[in-house]
Chain A
Amino acid sequence: MAVAKRPIIHPVDKYLRTERLPHVWCPGCGIGITLHAFMRAVKELEDEGRIDSSKILFVSGIGCTGRAAGYVNFDGAHTPHGRAIPYAMGAKLARPDLIPVVFSGDGDLVGIGGNHFIHAARRNMDVLVILVNNMIYALTGGQVAPTTPKGTYTTTTPFGNPDRPINAVKIAAAAGANYIARWAVTHPELLKNSIKKALPMEGFRLIEVVSICPEIFGRHIGFRAPIELYRRLQKVVKIRGKISPFEATYDWEKEIILGEFQVRNEPGYTRVLMEAFKHG
Chain B
Amino acid sequence: MSREADIGFLNSNHAAAEGALTAGVNFYAGYPITPASDLFEYLARKMPKQGGVIIQTEDEIAAINAIIGASWAGAKAMTATSGPGFSLMAESIGFAAMVEAPIVIIDDMRTGPSTGVATATGQGDVMQARWLSHGHYGIVALAPFSAQEAYDLTIKAFNIAERLRVPVVLLMDYVLVHTREKVRLKKPPEVEVWSRKKPRVPPEEYLPFKPDEDLVPPMATYGEGYRVFVESLVHDYRGYYVTRDDVYEELVKRLSDKITVNKHIVLDHVEYYTDDAEILFVAFGSTARSVLSIVRHARARGLKYGLFRPISIWPMDTDALLKAAENARKIIVVEMNYGQLFLEVDRVIKDKPVYLAPILTLDLPTPENILEVCRKWL
Q: Which residues of A contact B (CB under 8 A)?
A: 1-3, 17, 20, 54-55, 57, 59, 69-70, 73-83, 85-95, 97-98, 115-116, 118-119, 273, 276-277, 280
Contacts and interface: CB of A to CB of B under 8 A. Distances in A.
9 contacts: A1-B238, A54-B227, A69-B229, A77-B69, A87-B68, A93-B53, A94-B69, A98-B223, A116-B58
B99 A77 contact: yes
Interface string B220-236: 01111111111111000
Given A83-B92, A119-B58, A273-B53, A76 B229 contact: yes
Interface residues of B, number: 51
B87 interface: no
A27 to B, nearest CB: 21
A273 B27 CA distance: 13
A273 B65 contact: no
A69 B241 CA distance: 11
Contact of B70 (A2, A90, A277): A90
- Which of B26, B72, B203 gathers most chain A CB within 10 Å? B72
Contact of A90 (B73, B91, B221, B228): B73
Interface string B56-98: 0111011101111111111101000000000000011001000
Given A90-B65, A91-B73, A93-B53, A1 B227 contact: yes
Contacts of A59: 69
Contacts of A83: 61-62, 65, 92, 95
A82 B91 CA distance: 11
B207 A2 contact: yes
A93 B29 CA distance: 10
A90 B68 contact: yes
B238 A55 contact: no
Given A70-B240, A90-B66, A95-B222, A78 B58 contact: no
A134 B348 CA distance: 53
A146 to B, nearest CB: 18
Given A90-B68, A90-B70, A273-B55, A1 B95 contact: no
A86 B74 contact: no
Main secondary structure of the interface of B (DSSP, over half): mixed
A1 B223 contact: no
B204 interface: yes
A75 B227 contact: yes
> Top 3 closest A-B pairs, CB basis?
A90-B66, A90-B69, A277-B48
Contacts of A1: 203-204, 206-207, 226-228, 238
A2 B222 contact: no
A54 B74 CA distance: 15
B137 to A, nearest CB: 14
B205 interface: yes
A94 B65 contact: no
B49 interface: yes
A73 B227 contact: yes
A70 B231 contact: yes
Contact of B91 (A77, A80, A98, A276): A80
Contacts of A95: 73-75, 221-223
B59 A115 contact: yes
A251 to B, nearest CB: 29
Contacts of B231: 70, 77-78
